[in-house]
Chains A and B, each alone.
Chain A
Amino acid sequence: MSVPAAPEELSDGILLCYCTALTIGELRQACASGNWPPAGKEQSGKLCTGCLGDLLYCQRRFDSIRRP
C-alpha cells in the first residue's frame, strides 16, 4: 500500500494520542526498534479513537522507513 507524502511535518514533539500522551517521537522510536507498543502506551488509538487514523498513518510511514 502506498503512503502519501506527509501533509504536515512529522515532528517528534507532536502529541499523537491524547489519551495515552504518545508522541510521534515515541512512535518513531518504537517502530525503529521493533518494540511497539512502548510500555504504558498499549491503549494508544483505542480509547477515544480520534487519533487512530493518524497513528496508523505514522506507523506505515515509519515502518516503510525501517523496511524499504
Chain B
Amino acid sequence: MSSSLSALLSATFYERGDDHLVELIHQRDTAAHRRLHSLDVAVYDPAGKLLATPPVDPGREVLDLGALVEEIPGVPDRVMVAFDTRYDERIFPYRPHQYAYLHRRGSTAPALYYAVNAVLGGVPDRIGVTTMNNFETYLFRRAPFAERYSVLLGCLSRFAAVEAQVYAHYGRERTSREVRLEPRTHLEVEVPAEHGGERLDRVELKALFRLAAYVVGRRAATGELVLFDHLFTYFK
C-alpha cells in the first residue's frame, strides 16, 4: 500500500443566515488517526473572486461555515466554499467522506443533512472504478414539498470554463437551459416547479467536466431551504 498522499477537492455553498456545519472527517475508527494531512479552505463569490482562505486545523472534525464566512467583510449572500484536502489512504481507504447539517436560523423548516460534493478526486485511481460523474440526475417525490426549485452549480477548474446543460422533465415535456461557468464561478439555475400543467419530476445535469452541483428546494415566501442534495449518477 502506498504511503503517498491522496487528494480531494470538495465544495458546498453557504447562504447568509444559515446554520451550516460541515463534518470534515466522518470516521469513527478509534484505531485510526482520524486526521487529514492538510486542509485548505477557500471562499469564492459568484464571479469567482477569491474572498478568503481562512486557516483551519486539519485535525478538526466539524467546521462551522457560518462563523467562518460571516467574518469576511462584504461577503455576498451566497458563496462557494472549497475544501482542498490531502489525506493518507491508509486512514481513509476510499476518501474522507464529508457530511453537513444545514438549517436556516429561526426557521420552522426541518434541518437538512447532505453529503458534500466530492468534485475533484472523488474517484481515486487506486479503487479502479470508472463511472460517468458528469452526467447526473435527481428524481423528485411525486407529492410537491417545495415551492421553488433550482440547481446550484460551481466550477472548480483553475483554467478552463465549463459548459453545462440543465434539463428539467415534466411528464413527457422537457425544458433545458445552457450555462457556462468560468473558473471558480458559481450560479443558481432556477427550475420551474410546473410546466404545461405537469409537475417537475426530475432534473438532469450534463457537463463536459464535473461541477459542484446541488439540487435546491425553497419555500417561496422566505427562501428557506427545504431541500439541499447532491445529484446522482444514475438515469431513469
Contact = CB atoms under 8 A, between A and B. Distances in A.
Contact of A54 (B124, B129, B132, B158): B158
Interface in B188-236: 208-211
Interface string B25-57: 000000000000000000000000000000000
Contact of B130 (A8, A15, A47, A51): A47
A49 B162 CA distance: 11
Contact of B125 (A8, A47, A49): A47
B57 to A, nearest CB: 21
Interface in B119-150: 119-125, 129-130, 132-134
Interface in A28-68: 43, 46-54, 56-58
Contacts of B91: none
Given A14-B158, A57-B160, A47 B129 contact: yes
Contacts of B132: 49
B151 interface: no
Contacts of B158: 7-8, 14, 54
B157 A21 contact: no
Contacts of B121: 18-19, 48, 50
Interface stretch (B3-11, B64-72, B104-112, B168-176): B3-11
B80 to A, nearest CB: 14
A56 to B, nearest CB: 7
B156 interface: yes
A6 interface: yes
Contact of B156 (A14, A50, A56, A58): A50
Given A18-B9, A49-B133, A7 B159 contact: yes
Interface string B160-186: 111000000000000000000001000
A18 B133 CA distance: 14
A53 B162 contact: yes
A6 to B, nearest CB: 6
Interface in B60-98: none
Contact of A43 (B8, B9, B125, B159): B125
7 contacts: A19-B123, A19-B124, A47-B123, A47-B129, A48-B119, A49-B208, A54-B157
Given A7-B183, A57-B160, 13 more contacts: A19-B120, A19-B122, A43-B125, A47-B122, A48-B133, A49-B208, A50-B9, A50-B121, A53-B159, A53-B209, A54-B159, A56-B160, A57-B159
Interface of B: 4-9, 118-125, 129-130, 132-134, 156-162, 183, 208-211
